[in-house]
A and B are shown apart, each in its own frame.
Chain A
Amino acid sequence: MSDTLDCFLAENERQAFRMAQLATGHNDDALDIVQDAMIKLVQKYSDREPLEWGPLFHRILQRQIIDWYRNTSIKRRIFSWFVADDEESSGSYLEALADPTDTSPDRLLQGDQAMDLLQSALKTLPLRQRQVFLLRCWQGLSTKQTSEAMGCSTGSVKTHYHRALTTLRSRLGETWP
């Protein structure tokens, strides 16, 4: 069982790290998130059938990412005086939160331009849309599986995915990649 679990984690750790990295924008935070997700899977669900590990791991990982965002947003609220009151009271702060990572032309010239463009476009998406896009498009999860991993309705998943696709296509343009 331990070898099977090792193989499962080895196969999924890179994708998990990349998803966490795209969500947080920081390598160390992404590594912490992936490690915590792995530990929780091992502690709680290692006795389950290996086929169940995939959806469970995605669910744990998404929860970890959301928790990271919550903690970060709380820190931002505490330490930054310029956060608007209406954003705080709206309740949808987490939904609308986008990563303000540097997307300058100099940065885009480095490395693979197509990937950099995609990465930059992904970072401008709200967290929920980005998670849904990565789970549906990259991980190949169905709408139902994505809704289970995200803890929301299938209708919400469809809406987020449609909006994510529309935004990405408009940002990347018709000629991408």
Chain B
Amino acid sequence: MAIENKQSYFEQAAKQQLDDSLKMIDAATLSKLNQARQRALSYEKKKRSFHFSWATGLLGTFAVAMLVVTILPSTQQSQPLVPDLITEQWDVLVVANEDELELYNELDFYQWLDDVHG
């Protein structure tokens, strides 16, 4: 027990001396240590920016892929709209012109006339 206490006291004294020695580190060395720390931390920033560029690249690729997937079917759907639009315009033209309307109403008569005298 006495030996353990003596060892413990010795260890504590040594620890205290070593702790105190930290206060004796000169300013120039502390400055160099600070520079070393900042240099080490700059690797963290490089690592993060590398990860960020990877993430941005992946996100960009994903966004482009989603855009293609979303727009392509809607483009395919929009193709039949053009004839529909033309048909509607044609109907409007027919309804708007009275002569053309009469012609269409008597279309059966003209077909019969064509069959008989044609």
Contact = CB atoms under 8 A, between A and B. Distances in A.
Interface of A: 1-2, 5-6, 9-10, 13-15, 17-18, 27, 31, 34-35, 38-39, 41-43, 46, 111-112, 114-115, 118-119, 134, 137-138, 165, 168-169, 176-177
A177 B29 contact: no
Nearest to A6: B41
A38 B40 contact: yes
A16 to B, nearest CB: 9
A38 B39 CA distance: 9
B44 A165 contact: no
Contacts of B40: 9, 35, 38-39, 41-42
A165 B7 contact: yes
A150 B25 CA distance: 26
Chain B CB within 10 Å — which of A34, A39, A119 has the most? Answer: A39
Contacts of A39: 39-40, 43
A41 B41 CA distance: 10
A115 B22 contact: no
Contacts of A35: 36, 39-40
A18 B37 contact: no
A111 B36 CA distance: 27
Contacts of B107: none
Nearest to B39: A35
Given A13-B37, A35-B40, A111 B24 contact: yes
Interface of B: 7, 10-11, 13-22, 24-25, 29-30, 32-33, 36-37, 39-41, 43-45, 47-48
A20 B106 CA distance: 109
A31 B31 CA distance: 11
Chain B residues touching A, majority SS: helix
Given A18-B21, A137-B11, 5 more contacts: A13-B36, A17-B29, A31-B32, A39-B43, A42-B40
B28 to A, nearest CB: 9
Contacts of B18: 18, 115, 118, 134, 138
Query: Top 8 A-B pairs ranked by shortest CB distance?
Result: A38-B40, A35-B36, A39-B40, A14-B22, A42-B43, A13-B33, A138-B18, A9-B37
A34 B36 contact: yes
A66 B14 CA distance: 23
Contacts of A6: 37, 41
B47 A43 contact: yes
A39 B45 CA distance: 12
A42 B15 CA distance: 28
Given A43-B47, A112-B20, A165 B10 contact: yes
B41 A42 contact: yes
A142 B77 CA distance: 71
